[in-house]
Every structure is written in structure tokens, then in C-alpha cells.
Amino acid sequence: MHGNLTALLITVFVVLTVVLIGFLAGRNKSARSSVEEWSVGGRRFGGLLVWFLVGADLYTAYTFLGLTSTAYSGGSLAFFAIPYCILAYFVSYFYLPKLWKVANKYKLTTLADYARERFDSKLLSSLIAVVGVLMLIPYIDLQLAGIQNTLQVAGAGFINVKVVVITSFLLVALFTFFSGIKGPTYTAIIKDVLVWVIMLFLVITLPIIHFGGWSPMIHTLAKESPQLLTIPTAGPKGIPWFITASLVSALALFMWAHGATGVFTAKSADAVRKNAMFLPLYNVVLILVIFLGFVAYHVLPKGSDPRFALLNLIQVSYGGVAQGLAYSTIALASLIPCSIMAIGASNLFANNIYRDLINPKVSGAKLTLVTRSMVFVVIGLALLFGLLFPSALVSLQLLGVSGMVQIFPAIVVSLFWKSQTKEATIIGLLVGLVTTFTVYGTGNSFGIYEGFWGLAANLLFSIILNPFFTTKAKHQTNCVKEFLFHSLNSSESKINKGA
């Protein structure tokens, strides 16, 4: 189908306006005065800003395009995103405030920083950094794919899509380098407002346009395509896959570098708790967006590419203005998360690979410059990888979830397990990664999400091997461990008694 010039112009105007706002957000030099200011905004963001930032960070174009695509081709399997998000926020309520307190006390900006200080281990820190960066590249690629698909539909016949995509991501790299976390934070407000307004507009009007309302749509689905409304009981993606995918994805959510970055910007542990309480509101949109995949199944020609299900549905349903607003929302849902992800990956590389392993005596000013400059490397690698291997992105991102959950014991379990040792944790992490990649490579997952097997092996080896190293660990302590299990526990018990 040919693109719509009005829709294309609106999309370009909105995206360029938001990018300009991103530059303006960093006009104060303090935004790039140190790694802490550039990457986590000096930890001064209140609950509402954190909510917008983490929401923009986690609910990306891939979320909306991917869910409608999955619903279009796989039916109700797409609903795994709902329990996954709810479970992720419920679990995070109990550990993120504690993690934030440690990070705030010792000026930590990455999860790998925490692992280094908690276990006195640069090796573990570097392993977590390497895993974090490698797994994040395909995720950034998916944001690239989101804007590329959007422009391909909106601008067909008018523009060279690849040139525009490369230009867009270079602009994002520039404003991220210039503004740090403040750029995507303030633009996230615009993006999130548009997501709520436009997605609710779509889920209200599309069933009316094509079926006469929600009730007739549900009746049509139940009568003509009941397979869309059920989860397979067997096969490679049946109920066991649904359950384990939800669990693994939930535990992995805040292990991603960009998820942790959003949390560390908060000004208090209370802001982190409130964020965990109110983030599930986004699931209202997610549930309804999944049904748009079912609408596309009935409206679009049979054999349509699932990747374009939502975009093509918008194209055949609305005029240029509505198309432009919808496309610009999806484009922003690609670009803004890309910026936050680039900050997370750059921070990991500069702090936990460059400083910890290559140049331990680096000055604060040089480390800040290296961290900011890595944005161009990260986005450049993502662009190159995405253009060379476009068909591998989704499968690699799903593998990335299985990879990222392997650091959960090193980060979350260690917040509560005092005698956890670095040796057992490192071995468990490596065994979990090997198991995950082996299961993925052989295809022998037995209907279970690959990351579940890796995490089970990870925890098993960590628990079994830990006693062999505890004698040595008993004579070792550090300030973070002391803070976690003595100072922090004492202060919390006093608060509870006072309450």
C-alpha cells in the first residue's frame, strides 16, 4: 500500500519537536557534569516523573507492535504480558526500595556496581556488565525495527526509510549524549500521554468501525475464530510455556540496564514503592491493545505480515491526521526507550568494563565523557546489527530475557541472603547462561521457556556450592554487606516499632 503524505508529515513534525525538547532538557550543564547526573539525574526525580520515565522505558513500540503481532498470529498467547507485568511490579515492590537505598548510599548507578560492592568482585561486576550490554543490543534493535516499520507504512513512496531511520537514531544519540537522562525523562511525559490518548482512541473506535462495537466484535471472534481466544494446552507454546514465560519475564524486567536506570533516578525509596503500585495501570492499555490483533486478523487480508498488523490496521481505518498521530506515537515509543537503553548500556560499559578492568585510575571528568560517548557506539552497533540481521531481532530479544534473568540471584537474592558467596554466585550465573543457550540452541525446551531452565540450574548450583565457600566468606565483610544486614535492618525495625 502507498503511504499517506499527511500522516508522514505529522509523524516527522511530532518526532522532531520531541527530539528538540530532548535537547532543551539538557541545556543546563549540570545535566552532564558527572556520571551520576548524566545517567540517573542526580537521583532527584519524584514519584510521578519516575512513573512516566519507567513507563516510557518499559512500554515501547515493540510492546504494542509485538503484542498485536502475537495476537494476530498466536491468539491469546499474547496475554502472557499481563500476568508478567503484574507479577514483576508485585515482586519489585519488595526489593527495589532496598536496592535503591544501597545505590543511593554508595552512589551506585548500575546493577553491576551493586554486585561489585556487595561481593567485592570486579569479575562478577564485569560479567553482569557484559551480559547486560550484549542482551540489550537486540532490544535497541527492536526499537529501530519499530520506527522502521512505522515509516515504511507511513512513508511508502515518499522517503528512503533506511536513511530516515539512521538519521532519527543519530539525532537520539546526539540528544542523549547532550542531555543524559533528563532528555528522555521530559520527552517521556509527551510519549506516555500520547500512548494513553491514542491507544485508548484506537481500542474504542476500531471495533466500532469494523464491527459496530465491542460486543459485536467479541461475538464475531467467538463464532468465527474461537482459536484466538484460547491458550493451547500442549505443544511448544502451551500453558507450561505461558506460565514460565510470565515468571521469567517478570523476574528479568528490572534486571535490564534501562529498567534499573529508571529506578535509580528516584529521589526516595517511597517513590520507588509508589511506582511499583501504579505501574500496573499500563496493563489497562495492554489488555485492550491485544484485542486489536484480533481485529486485524478479521480485517486485514489473509497472509498479511504480522509485523505490520497494527500499522496496516491503522492505515485502512483512518484518514491522514489520525494516522499521523498514531504513527508518531509508535515512533516515539521507539525513540525514547532507545535513548534510555543507550544510557543503561553506556553506563555499564564505561563504569564496569572500562573503569573496573581497563583504567581503574580514570578521573571523574574523563569517565563521564567516556560514558556519554559510548552512546554513539551502542546505537551504532544496534543500527548495524539491525540492518544486517533484521529477521533475528525478535528471537534474540526473547533470548535476551532468558539471559538477563540469570543475574537475578546476584542482584535480588543477595539483598536478602547474607551468607551468599561470590564464588557460588559466579558459578551459578555461568551455569545458568550455558544452560539457557544450550536449551535454546538445541530446541529441547520441552514446552518450557528457555530462561526457566537456566534460572533453575543457576539457583541449584548457587545453593549447593555456597556452603563450600562460606568459611572463607565469614571472615570477609564490606560496607555494603554491613549496611544491608545491620544498619538498614536496624533502621527499618525502628521505623516499624515507631509505627
Residue 45 three-state SS: strand
What is the residue extent of each domain of the chain? 5-405
pLDDT for 429: 94
pLDDT for 362: 84
pLDDT for 499: 46
pLDDT for 432: 94
pLDDT for 398: 67
For residue 249, give the nearest of 136, 82, 61, 124 by alpha carbon. 82
H-run or E-run covering 338: helix 320-349
For residue 470, give the nearest of 425, 416, 409 by alpha carbon. 425
Q: Which residues contact 179 (CB under 8 A, 6 or more apart)?
A: 22, 23, 25, 26, 31, 32
CATH number, span 5-405: 1.20.1730.10
Cell readout for 264 is 535509580
pLDDT lower than 50: segments of the chain:
499
